[in-house]
Amino acid sequence: MIKAVFILIAMELLLPVLFGAVFALSDENVTGRKHFFFSSLVNGQIVLYAIFQITTVWSILNSINFSYAVKRFVPVAVAVLTALIVIAIVKYRKRFAVVFKGRPEKISFWGIIGFLLFVFMMVMSFFMTYTDGDDAYYVTTAAEAVFSDTMYAKNPYSGTGTISSFRYKAAPYPLWLALLSGASGIHPTALAHTFFPWTMILLSFSVFFLMARNLFGGDTKKRGMFLFFASVLIMFGDYSIYPAENFLLARARQGKAALAAFVLPYLVCLMIRIAKQLRDKDKCGFRELALITFTGFAASLCSTIGGALSLALVSVSALVMAVTYKKLKTPALMVLMVLPSVAFVLLYLVKG
């Protein structure tokens, strides 16, 4: 069990930080260790989701076994990670020293309370585990991949052979759960209802932390108040099975939860970041444009409609920025960078 926990921590904390380190170091606003960790964690998880989406859907289209799909994902992920680490060492070695040698930022009273509320949510997600009707499909699909080495080859409700709709095949988020389960040796159902909610709540908190930094800069009191009120709204927003708060607190193991509580809020955070760059510098960096593409793929992994929602969000934001700042190049590039993720929506419309 201890070995399994270490494997999960490595895959859900260490790996994302390694994948996202170069994106954190290339952000001139990242000046402290805490900010570096949250930025690396979020960006790295987005990149991992994007790689997994592309390689896994390709494997599903070729009707291969889950184990072979993993063998396709791992080399691609290793190659991307190697390239990112090399870029970080060669180009941002000095930035690394600046980030880690600086004084730790003071944490406001509000920030401490907000953080404790998120920790409380993580603890309660373990002790008040919740079952949902959708688990019969999503968790069972993960179990099928682990124990039958197939992907969407059986009806999760009956166990008989079936032809799954491409609506599910184009958004294979349950297979991410299967990957973690297979690597750690923990049963998919146990993993989905214990460890998985912790990681999703942590990712959600990290996104809110980055959003607070974008909105309030170095004002630790305002940032802390933002995190506190965000925590309160989440805790008391679980009034039915439909709001995003319910997906985060009660159904964190489902792709819809990752989309509603993590990926789309991160995309909003990214739009705020780009808007500030247009206001201050009249342009945005390649880093932000690349992250738009990765986020679109990550959204497609979580839900078939994720790519379309990402396109809608980026397009509306681009229109507002074009009108507000009278700049056309960057808004056009934003829309162009999110378009690849719409390919999965088109695949569903054609093959579904």
| Sign, Cα dihedral of 270, 329, 217, 21 | positive
For residues 41 and 37, give the distance between their C-alpha atoms in angstroms, rounded to a whole number: 6
User: CA distances (Å), 294 to each of 154, 179, 302, in order?
Assistant: 30, 20, 13
What is the pLDDT at residue 164? Answer: 64
According to DSSP, the residues that pair with 154 across neighbouring strands are: 161
What pLDDT sits at residue 163? 61
Residues of the chain with pLDDT under 70: 102-104, 129, 131, 161-164, 351-352
What confidence score (pLDDT) does residue 129 get? 67
Contact 231, 201 (CB under 8 A): no
What's the pLDDT score for residue 323? 93
Q: What is the DSSP string of 167-217?
A: HHHTS-HHHHHHHHHHHH---HHHHHHTHHHHHHHHHHHHHHHHHHHHHHT
Residue 296's pLDDT is 95
**Among candidates 106, 107, 110, which has minimal Cα distance to 224?**
110
Per residue in 24-51, pLDDT tens? 988 888 877 888 899 999 999 999 999 9
pLDDT at 178: 93
**322 phi, psi to nearest 5 deg:** -60, -40
Show the CA angle centred on residue 87, arms to residues 85 and 92, nearest 5°.
Answer: 100
C-alpha separations of 155 from 58, 137, 254, 311 in Å: 21, 8, 18, 31
pLDDT of amino acid 311: 94
Cα 21 to chain centroid, rounded: 15
